[in-house]
């Protein structure tokens, strides 16, 4: 048995002893009394009785050994700003922010919603919440008012922290009007709104509610705020992920289990050492930003780069220049970004000294072999694909090279990580598939490991019914992904079993997009599917039946309505959810019982066989789509 195979076996068969060892990677105020409480499946409670604090482990404990070492490196190619905060300076900024929140009446268990661009203040806000036991809920800055309002409604935050604007590709995106509209739409009204004024867009402040970040924090210079010692099982944060119902799900995470999971992953998977530099190109609005921009690297005593900008601005060498300048040892990005860089001059890969880089980690959507091979040859370092979800908080599939060096297989995110009892099962029967290369649903046998979601915020029943009751006759966590496993145990992910799509690493529910499009007065019916795309992995494609078909005969009318629909999605959900195209049809393919045949539509769009169509009510509907896609 290989060293890693034994490591993984121990994590499942000698679970308590294994995870007690990993728990030594963080500091506890009070040691856990029970390592894993799985007495009420599928709910797993980790390190019960232990008390700790994420901010203490990410910031305070490093003041003893490395107070002046770089902790947070903020780089914005949008505004030309660059600043490094040592652990001592980060500690000071987080305490000022924590003091300001406490002054606004925020106490343990209160929610703070963060709707911010990739600026240092966003990290201060997250860590300040962790420090005082407030539950932060970060919403991606690209989301529009309707999406933001639904999250305000669900999280019921006491305080919202935001900014005047973000910037992408030199284009300013004003946040304040979007936030004001979201609060207007929501029945829940926050007590206060704390605003960073970057000088990018004008802001009208609401009297009695809106506060200026700089002026507010200035009043708390030199503040001393102790860490709130929290139960391991207390809630650290919620983060919203798209659901197939159109109603976003608040993924709820604990404190102690998450801290242990991240600290272990930095050691075993990401090869991080104190004093080194980590660079994740994600955004704090996504789970990767939580785990591997803010908490993970800081827990490991590393410097973390927080980057605002594009991978090709001012040129396609910007990321590699940062690797050289800050001696980055581990980098985490998405396949889409690499595909963008692949179109640029390859000389940029050779222009900078990348000798400190140990590996490039990629996740967010499936990594195709040509892209993996191109970047592998260009960088000359291991390219480690990894697969996980907002729900898992850290990789489900990867290579734990910190335990034992293992070879990457292009196209595969690797092997099941320690703590995950991963299986492939038949979708209809629940039977476990054990032969190589059998296609099945990727599932996890409980208990789920530390760091995994505790439940859906405010809705245990939805957690159980959504994730644990989809496999006939068995209580298994479904990833809702198809997969196969080869003879060496490496997994290959083949795509979703539900109606969630991955667009450039952003997870979107097709139902959310359909509901947005349906709000246009000239839309009678709509179907949205994810279609394979060489650059982004997948793109959303919309098929619409218009109420007034007469206006669609002329191409000008079609283009006008398509533009209007795109604008509706932009305004309600944000540009990230905008379909690549809106195609107009006279009817949508359905079964005789009225169920939309989304998988058949997707297959036709991708040039695949749509399978058995004996249940289709009108075959001409699918032929229309076939004709449109062949134009």
pLDDT digits (tens, 9 = 90+) for 226-238: 999 999 999 999 9
Q: How far is residue 91 CA from its own chain's centroid? A: 26
Between 430 and 245, where is the model more confident?
430
* pLDDT value at residue 314: 94
Between 404 and 598, where is the model more confident?
404
Per DSSP, helices labelled H in 397-541 are 460-467, 510-518
Mean pLDDT of 317-328: 97
Between 595 and 415, where is the model more confident?
415
Q: Can you give the residue ranges of every domain in the chain?
A: 66-70+87-223, 500-630
Between 508 and 308, where is the model more confident?
308
Specify the range with the lowest mean pLDDT, choosing from 34-38, 342-346, 431-435, 470-474. Answer: 342-346
Sign of torsion over alpha carbons 546, 552, 558, 561: negative
DSSP 186-253: -S---SEEEEE--SSS--PPPTTTEEEHHHHHHTTTT---PPPPEETTSEEEEEEE--TTSS-EEEEE
Mean pLDDT over all residues of the chain?
92
* Calpha distance 250→137 (Å, rounded): 9
Q: What is the pTM of this model?
A: 0.85
Query: For 34-43, b where at least 16 C-beta lie within 10 A, e where not — what string?
Result: ebbbeeeebb
Mean pLDDT of 578-589: 90
Mean pLDDT of 139-159: 92
| 3 state DSSP class of 126 | helix
25-84 pLDDT, tens per residue? 999 999 999 999 999 999 999 999 999 999 999 999 999 999 999 999 999 999 999 999
Q: How many residues does the chain have?
A: 631
| Residue 482 predicted with pLDDT over 90 | no
| Residue 283 predicted with pLDDT over 50 | yes
* Cis, bond preceding 42 (omega within 30 deg of 0): yes
* Calpha distance 356→320 (Å, rounded): 11
Pair of tokens at residue 44: 């797993």
| Residue 552 predicted with pLDDT over 60 | no
* pLDDT value at residue 354: 95
* Calpha distance 414→410 (Å, rounded): 9
> pLDDT grade, residue 498 (50/70/90)?
low
Tell me the pairing of strands 506-509 and 500-503: antiparallel
Between 302 and 530, where is the model more confident?
302
> pLDDT grade, residue 595 (50/70/90)?
low
| Residue 551 predicted with pLDDT over 50 | no
196-218 pLDDT, tens per residue? 999 999 999 999 999 999 999 99
Specify the range with the lowest mean pLDDT, choosing from 45-54, 144-153, 321-330, 489-498. Answer: 489-498
DSSP 431-455: PBP-STT--EEEEEESSPPTTS--E
> pLDDT grade, residue 164 (50/70/90)?
very high
* pLDDT value at residue 516: 86
Q: Residue 242: CA atoms inside 13 Å, Cβ hemisphere, count? A: 26
Specify the range with the lowest mean pLDDT, choosing from 6-10, 28-32, 281-285, 498-502. Answer: 498-502
- At the topology level, CATH places domain 500-630 in GMP Synthetase; Chain A, domain 3 (3.30.300)
* Calpha distance 410→299 (Å, rounded): 30
The CATH code for residues 66-70+87-223 is 3.40.50.980
| Residue 146 predicted with pLDDT over 70 | yes
Mean pLDDT of 594-605: 79
Pair of tokens at residue 106: 């925020």
| Residue 90 predicted with pLDDT over 60 | yes
614-631 pLDDT, tens per residue? 557 677 888 888 888 876
* Calpha distance 107→551 (Å, rounded): 56
| Residue 267 predicted with pLDDT over 70 | yes
- Residue with the two structure tokens 């709707």: 115
* pLDDT value at residue 427: 86
Cβ-based neighbours of 455, under 8 Å, separated by 6 or more: 43, 252, 463
Strand partners, 306: 74
* pLDDT value at residue 553: 52
132-144 pLDDT, tens per residue? 999 999 999 878 8
């Amino acid at each position: 048995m290989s060293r890693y195979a034994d490591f993984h076996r121990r994590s499942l068969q000698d679970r308590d002893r294994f995870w007690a060892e990993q728990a030594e990677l963080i500091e506890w105020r009070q040691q856990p009394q029970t390592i894993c409480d799985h007495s009420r499946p599928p709910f797993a409670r980790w390190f019960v009785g232990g008390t700790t604090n994420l901010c203490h482990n990410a910031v305070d404990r490093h003041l003893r050994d490395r107070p002046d070492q770089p902790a947070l490196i903020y780089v914005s190619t949008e505004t030309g700003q660059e600043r490094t905060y040592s652990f001592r300076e980060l500690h000071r900024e987080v305490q000022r922010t924590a003091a300001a929140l406490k002054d606004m009446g925020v106490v343990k268990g209160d929610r703070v919603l963060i709707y911010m661009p990739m600026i240092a203040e966003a990290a201060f806000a997250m860590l300040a919440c962790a420090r005082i036991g407030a539950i932060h809920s970060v919403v991606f800055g690209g989301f529009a008012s309707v999406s933001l309002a639904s999250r305000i409604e669900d999280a019921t935050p006491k305080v919202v922290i935001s900014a005047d604007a973000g910037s992408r590709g030199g284009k300013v995106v004003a946040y304040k009007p979007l936030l004001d509209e979201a609060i207007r739409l929501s029945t829940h009204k926050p007590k206060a709104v704390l605003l960073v004024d970057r000088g990018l867009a004008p802001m009208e402040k609401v009297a009695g509610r809106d506060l200026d970040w700089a002026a507010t924090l200035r009043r708390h210079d030199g503040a001393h705020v102790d860490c709130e010692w929290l139960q391991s099982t207390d809630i650290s944060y919620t983060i919203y992920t798209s659901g197939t119902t159109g109603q976003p799900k608040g993924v709820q995470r604990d404190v102690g289990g998450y801290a242990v999971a991240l600290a272990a992953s930095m050691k075993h998977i990401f090869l991080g050492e104190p004093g080194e530099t980590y660079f994740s190109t994600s955004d704090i609005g996504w789970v990767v930003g939580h785990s591997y921009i803010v908490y993970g690297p800081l827990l490991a005593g590393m410097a973390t780069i927080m980057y605002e900008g594009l991978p090709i601005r001012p040129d396609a060498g910007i990321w590699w220049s940062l690797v050289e300048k800050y001696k980055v040892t581990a980098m985490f990005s998405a396949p889409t970004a690499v595909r963008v860089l692949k179109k640029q001059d390859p000389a940029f890969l050779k222009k900078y000294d990348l000798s400190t880089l140990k590996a490039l980690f990629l996740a967010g959507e499936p990594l195709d072999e040509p892209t993996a091979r191109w970047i592998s040859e260009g960088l000359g370092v291991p390219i480690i694909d990894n697969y996980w979800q907002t729900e898992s908080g850290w990789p489900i599939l990867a290579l734990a090279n910190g335990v034992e060096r293992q070879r990457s297989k292009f196209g595969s995110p690797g092997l099941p990580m320690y703590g995950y009892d991963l299986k492939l099962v038949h979708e209809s029967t629940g039977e476990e598939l054990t032969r190589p290369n059998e296609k099945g649903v990727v599932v996890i046998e409980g208990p789920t490991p530390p760091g995994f979601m505790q439940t859906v915020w405010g809705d245990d029943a939805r957690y159980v019914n959504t994730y644990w009751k989809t496999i006939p006759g068995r209580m298994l966590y479904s990833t809702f992904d198809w997969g196969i496993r080869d003879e060496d145990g490496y997994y290959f992910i083949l795509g979703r079993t539900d109606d969630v799509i991955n667009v450039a690493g952003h997870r979107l529910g097709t139902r959310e997009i359909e509901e947005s499009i349906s709000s246009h007065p000239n839309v009678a019916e709509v179907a949205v599917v994810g279609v394979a795309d060489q650059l982004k992995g997948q793109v959303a494609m919309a098929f619409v039946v218009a109420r007034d078909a007469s206006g669609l005969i002329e191409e000008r009318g079609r283009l006008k309505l398509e533009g209007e629909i795109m604008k509706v999605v932009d305004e309600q959900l944000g540009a990230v959810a905008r379909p690549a195209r809106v195609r107009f049809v006279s009817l949508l393919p359905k079964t005789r019982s009225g169920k939309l045949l989304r998988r058949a539509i997707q297959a036709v769009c991708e040039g695949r066989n749509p399978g058995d169509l004996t249940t289709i009510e009108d075959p001409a509907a699918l032929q229309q789509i076939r004709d449109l896609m062949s134009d």
